[in-house]
């Protein structure tokens, strides 16, 4: 009987059988196929992604040359691979080490501690080089010191505060303490600096404080900084006052924006503080380099009072309360004023803005009268007569600017030199209007205009934008922007009266 010849030598038959056994063993041992999907490297970190299930790892180091070896049990890779490293990682190699183990090798430029994480149920393996915390300094920055921590390798830091006694804690994950570390002496409100190896992968730095403080973590070229900041400890209503507990500097009251008065607390943090409600006052906040508290208190002005442990905000009647104001919408009736390229008429926009202005002035407690409440014509003399006859203390005439060159844009406000206070009045309103948007500040200017010259009241005339400019015409036609203009003029009047 003849034996069939399949064309295989005994050598090739052995290789085929070995391959079948190789994959059979993996399938029997692990029940499902787990494959190496991707390996990436960055400074101090290698991430290994798998498909098909989770994995368990074994790791160790080798020397001459320095290597970190990661064995991935039950993982297959189709072909060996090599990728360039970053930082202390020269390169990363991976291959099928045995039928059931894929091996990943990190070739290092120098010795380093390391940490292995298995996340997403073992589908992602991260190998992170450890850092050595080798220098801690307190920098004498003003008004509060800054903690600076330097190390060999990237530092991964988190911070938090602890009360009773007051402490700030900074944890450095994947780090160890250098043996020869020297701690800085006390500085300002930092009574002592302490360190410890909190666990096998975390260095803890503790600042013992003499007062409640917060800190802002910042990455710097040499490591990590914790910039110390004052903190808002408490915010609460009491007897109609808003009490604010802080050891920081007295806040600066900024200009009102869109009906909100903003107070800046320099070098202060309060981003997680809950704002109390009530008292007919609406509070808001934002955190930047300083902490800003926004206070919307229609008809009331804010007085800042120093008190033990911080400040109090007292809410007094607005400087506009009881003030007689005449608002004059320019043009009207047979006099349309300037007309923009889109067909919007100045007289209509003037009236719309004036009606919003009247609403806000009444909210602030002013007694307000319009020279015209509809679309009809009034002479300049009639407008002045209304103002003088009403006993007005304040007169504001609303207009839109126009020019043959449609690129002209911006805001300007006119006053008459007969009254020393009218310039300051115009400047306050101009400042509020310019703050609404990026535009050319055409300044407060002296103008020999009839409605200003003949008026017994403190009088200004404001050109809120150029209707001859297509972009500004579109803004002027927007009811939302008309409302903002009305609010800005009201805020400018109130700010002027408060300083008067």
Active site positions, annotated: 463
Q: Is 347 exposed, middle or buried (0-12, 13-18, 19+ CB in 10 A)?
A: buried
Residues 6+ apart with CB under 8 A from 366: 318, 320, 321, 322, 323, 324, 325
Give the DSSP H or E segment for 13: helix 10-30
- SS3 call for 480: helix
Strands 175-177 and 131-139: parallel
| Cα–Cα distance measured from residue 449 to residue 447, given in angstroms and rounded to the nearest whole number | 6
Q: Helices 479-499 and 346-363 sit at what angle, rounded to 10 degrees?
A: 50
CA 134 to chain centre: 32
Cβ proximity of 111 and 65 under 8 Å: no
| Cα–Cα distance measured from residue 133 to residue 179, given in angstroms and rounded to the nearest whole number | 9
| Cα–Cα distance measured from residue 133 to residue 193, given in angstroms and rounded to the nearest whole number | 14
Tokens standing for residue 108: 């290092």
| Cα–Cα distance measured from residue 211 to residue 190, given in angstroms and rounded to the nearest whole number | 9
Pick left, alpha or beta for residue 396 (phi over 0 → left; psi -120 to 50 → alpha; otherwise beta): beta
Give the DSSP H or E segment for 450: helix 450-453
Residue at token pair 């890779």: 77
Tokens standing for residue 27: 């399938």
Cβ proximity of 209 and 162 under 8 Å: no
Cβ proximity of 216 and 226 under 8 Å: yes
Tokens standing for residue 178: 């250098």
Residues 6+ apart with CB under 8 A from 284: 260, 275, 293, 294, 296
User: Looking at residue 52, what DSSP letter applies?
Assistant: S
β-sheet with 260-265: strand ranges across: 252-257, 260-265, 291-296, 282-287
Percent helix / strand / coil, the chain, rounded to 5: 20, 45, 35
| Cα–Cα distance measured from residue 377 to residue 391, given in angstroms and rounded to the nearest whole number | 22
Strands 241-246 and 310-317: antiparallel
Give the DSSP H or E segment for 414: strand 411-415
| Cα–Cα distance measured from residue 129 to residue 44, given in angstroms and rounded to the nearest whole number | 5
């Amino acid at each position: 009987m003849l034996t069939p010849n399949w064309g295989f030598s005994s050598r090739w038959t052995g290789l085929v059988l070995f391959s079948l056994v190789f994959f059979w063993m993996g399938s029997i041992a692990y029940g499902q196929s787990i494959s190496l999907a991707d390996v990436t490297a960055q400074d101090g970190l290698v991430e290994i992604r798998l498909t098909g299930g989770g994995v368990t790892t074994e790791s160790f180091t080798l020397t001459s040359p320095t290597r970190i070896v990661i064995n991935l049990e039950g993982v297959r890779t189709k072909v060996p691979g090599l990728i360039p490293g970053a930082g202390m990682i020269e390169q990363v190699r991976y291959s099928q080490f045995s039928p059931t183990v894929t091996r990943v090798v990190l070739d290092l430029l120098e010795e380093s501690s390391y940490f292995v994480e298995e996340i997403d149920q073992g589908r992602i393996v991260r190998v992170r080089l450890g850092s050595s915390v080798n220098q801690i300094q307190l920098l004498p920055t003003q008004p509060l010191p800054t903690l600076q921590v330097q190390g060999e390798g990237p530092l991964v830091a988190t911070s938090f505060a602890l009360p009773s006694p007051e402490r700030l804690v900074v944890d450095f994950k994947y780090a160890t303490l250098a043996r020869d570390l020297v701690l800085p002496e006390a500085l300002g409100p930092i009574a002592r600096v302490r360190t410890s190896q909190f666990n096998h992968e975390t260095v803890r730095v503790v600042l013992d404080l003499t007062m409640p403080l917060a800190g802002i973590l910042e990455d710097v070229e040499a490591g990590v900084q914790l910039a110390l900041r004052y903190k808002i400890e408490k915010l609460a209503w009491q007897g109609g006052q808003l009490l604010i507990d802080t050891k920081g500097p007295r806040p600066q009251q900024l200009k009102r924006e869109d009906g909100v008065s903003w107070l800046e607390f320099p070098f202060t943090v309060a981003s997680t503080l809950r704002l109390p409600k009530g008292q007919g006052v609406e509070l808001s906040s934002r955190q930047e380099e300083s902490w800003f508290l926004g206070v919307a208190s229609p008809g009331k002005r804010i007085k800042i009072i120093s008190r033990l442990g911080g400040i109090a905000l007292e809410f007094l009647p607005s400087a506009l309360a009881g003030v007689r104001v005449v608002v004059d919408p320019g043009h009207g009736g047979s006099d349309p004023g300037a007309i923009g390229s889109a067909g919007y008429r100045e007289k209509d926009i003037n009236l719309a803005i004036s009606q919003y202005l009247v609403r806000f002035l009444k909210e602030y407690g002013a007694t307000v009268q319009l020279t015209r409440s509809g679309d009809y014509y009034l002479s300049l003399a009639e407008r002045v007569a209304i103002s003088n006859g009403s006993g007005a203390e304040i007169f504001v005439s609303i207009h839109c600017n126009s020019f043959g060159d449609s690129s002209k844009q911006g805001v300007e406000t006119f006053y008459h030199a007969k009254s020393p206070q009218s310039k300051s009045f115009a400047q306050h309103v101009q400042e509020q209007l310019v703050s609404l948007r990026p535009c050319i500040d055409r300044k407060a200017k002296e103008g020999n205009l009839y409605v200003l010259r003949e008026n017994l009241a403190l009088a200004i005339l404001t050109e809120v934008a150029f209707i001859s400019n297509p972009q500004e015409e579109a803004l002027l036609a927007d009811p939302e922007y008309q409302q903002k203009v009305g609010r800005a003029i009201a805020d400018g009047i109130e700010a002027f009266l408060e300083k008067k």
